[in-house]
Amino acid sequence: MPKLTYNEKTFLLDGKEIQLLSGAMHYFRTVPEYWEDRLRKLKAAGLNTVETYVAWNIHEPEEGQFQFEGIADIVKFVKTAEKVGLHVIVRPGPYICAEWEFGGFPYWLMTVPNIKLRCFNQPYLDKVDRYFDVLFEKLNPLLSANGGPIIALQIENEYGSFGNDKQYLEYMRDGLKKRAGDMFLFTSDGPTHSMFSGGMIDGVFETANFGSRGYDAFNILKEYQPKGPGMCMEFWHGWFDHWGEEHHTRSAASVVESLEEILEQNGSVNFYMGHGGTNFAFYNGANHNEEIYQPTITSYDYDALLTESGEVTEKLYQVRKAFEKYVDLPEMVLPDPLPKKAYGKVVLNEKAELLASLEQLSQPQYSAAPLTMEEYGQGYGFIVYETTIKGAYGKQNLTVQDVHDRGQVYLNGEFVGLVDRISGKSTLEVDITEKETKVQIIVENMGRINYGPFLVDFKGVTEGVRLGNQFLFDWTVYPLPLTDLSKLTFSNQTAKEEHPYFHRGTLHIEEVADTFIDVSEWKKGVVFVNGHNLGRYWEIGPQQTLYVPAPFLQEGENEIILLELHHHEKEVIFKDTPNLG
């Protein structure tokens, strides 16, 4: 029964000294067919451990409906890590940040009466307890206390960056002890006095998160935890991207320099990320810097040791060389590279207009005032609000108050403009010339905030819609989670600019391989391959291709569907290399 402990200077596993060399990999960002490939490559880098968050919204997408299959099969992931020969660190949250939608919280949590997140609030704790009871039924056989590969569990996540509710942290600690027994528990926080003070719990091991200045970070940590080894639980050797920003990279030389500051102190390290993966579907998160909303892109490449599609990087080789100065490593054994294919052009010659397909995609709901997406029981995707203005009022200001996150507005089927959270534009000047004017607003949820003080992030029209000072009532609403497009009726119609259309074509292949769909000629939308939602694209970049893992494809015919919101082209190109900007 391997047990992780520590003395004044080092970790001990079964009483033997161990320097934890770990890499983060989130099972929910990589297709299960590739878990073993990625884990073997991380082990080849010299790592002896893999760390993963647990995303609550993957496992309980709707309240009381639990999911642990496919990409949510955390048991299989942990067992695969054990098969490869890696120890496992699990960070179960319930909040995980991770640039993941709502920091891993399920959307429905916001609809619970009187709930307050991440504090000693009984409605919140009741939901966490029910989820943890189910989760740990799955994890318990895999804990080191029961002979499994999981050697450590994190309590909450970087709590010192959010709050200082010690009663809450102690409740979370006691809950893990009750469910997991005699396991090594820890917390992790940024290396500042306020973060350590807010995030630490009496009797629980603390770790630090940083990307450089390892001596300074560990010195501050020692002020709060004088005895024990230093561990960087999140070594930020890369970074994530927001839409409209530059693609972030960091040189291998810079990474190794900062890594050696950790290793020279006999510190342990968890590379964030070892393998980043992909924010498939609508699971990307967002930030808010107290001025603007910043949604995260689909790729979570993170400039990690492995690329988004699992390629070994030069950084990985240089990191292994750095490890070899401090620890004895087994021979480097890499699995064969996975094939990549450039399948070429696919013509998308069939179309279905979104606004003409609402009845095929959705069951309409009715409310006096426009409600949020969550209040209609919808978590992700798009939502269409529709009402009628009676009276020819002439030129007026139409205000969508407050749109989360981006709305396309139509009057009697004609596009009149965009309202969106990023620019802050909420009002359009319109001319109401007919006795009856149909108003339609297509709102995109671009990802809930995953970090900081604005975590509670309702989507859709969050306050109301008004003409001048007069609020509009009597709404028909179409939730569009876009989980099933099979009822769409396609034809060879001509697409109108600034109107959303689904475009469909067929990719014929003889041999299945990873590939990348180039959407750089299109403007903004979502891509589906054989029913799998690859995620979003947007012309503002930096990302210009979307990763298509081979398990999403099949020999023969493959259905390709793009939902393009604005500008309509005729084809896409499948390439064998990505373009992340």
Positions annotated as catalytic residues are 158, 234
Q: Which residues have a Cβ under 8 Å from the Cβ of 186 and sit 6 or more positions away? A: 152, 153, 154, 155, 204, 205, 206, 207, 231, 233
Q: Which residues have a Cβ under 8 Å from the Cβ of 31 and sit 6 or more positions away? A: 71, 549, 551, 552
Cβ count within 10 A of residue 75: 15
CB 25 within 8 A of CB 33: no
CA torsion through residues 12, 17, 23, 26, sign: negative
With b meaning 16 or more CB within 10 Å and e meaning fewer, what string describes 321-360? ebbeebeebeeeeeeeeeebbebeebebebbbbbbebbee
CA distance 131 to 125: 10
CB 289 within 8 A of CB 24: no
Tracing tokens 């859709």 back to the chain, one arrives at 460
For residue 336, whether the previous peptide bond is cis, meaning omega lies within 30 degrees of 0, is no
CA distance 302 to 284: 13
- Hey, what are 244's tokens? 């409209």
Smallest CA-to-CA distance from 43 within 234, 239, 275 is with 275
Amino acid at 298: T
